[in-house]
Amino acid sequence: MKNASNRLNLSVQYVCNREGLPLRTDFVRWARAALVGGGEVTIRLVDADEGQTLNNEYRGKDYATNVLSFPYDTEPVVTGDLVICPSVVAREAAEQNKPLAAHYAHLTVHGMLHLQGWDHDNDDDADAMENEEKEILAALGYPDPYAA
């Protein structure tokens, strides 16, 4: 049995109608791969209107974005919310010629790292975070999301 400090309690809220969304089991696998220790995390899949409202309110950017991270705590376990906008994810995957599941996996891993304190505010931090993402995604069987 897993130690409670290594347990991941993950809630997935599907609040938009979009076919082809990953299953909760997919999100659990991706989130667990990126998590050190335990966590209490909610992933909320939203329509573009809600994504735009949240991005504007919390980041001052008036457009829907792919993933927003809302970290609350890291001790004794990681607690936070990820908000993912499937319409943006699907558009980006098509534009970047990436498999949709690989893009969802990347954004879930990216968001989970943010919940644990990773950021990409400068070049060194961005390089470190990208390298961590590549390692996690490779272990999950996905290609380098930053490859041209």
Quote the distance between the C-alpha of residue 96 and its chain's center: 18
Checking if the pLDDT of 140 tops 60, the result is yes
Pairwise CA distance, residues 47 & 2, whole Å = 35
- Binding site, by residue number, is 110, 114, 120
pLDDT at 2: 46
106's CB contacts (< 8 A; 6+ apart) are: 133, 137, 142, 145
* Distance from C-alpha of 38 to C-alpha of 59, rounded to nearest angstrom: 27
Annotated binding site for Zn(2+): 110, 114, 120
pLDDT digits (tens, 9 = 90+) for 37-89: 999 999 999 999 999 999 999 999 999 999 999 999 999 999 999 999 999 99
**Gap between the Cα atoms of 62 and 125, Å rounded:** 25
What is the pTM assigned to this prediction?
0.94
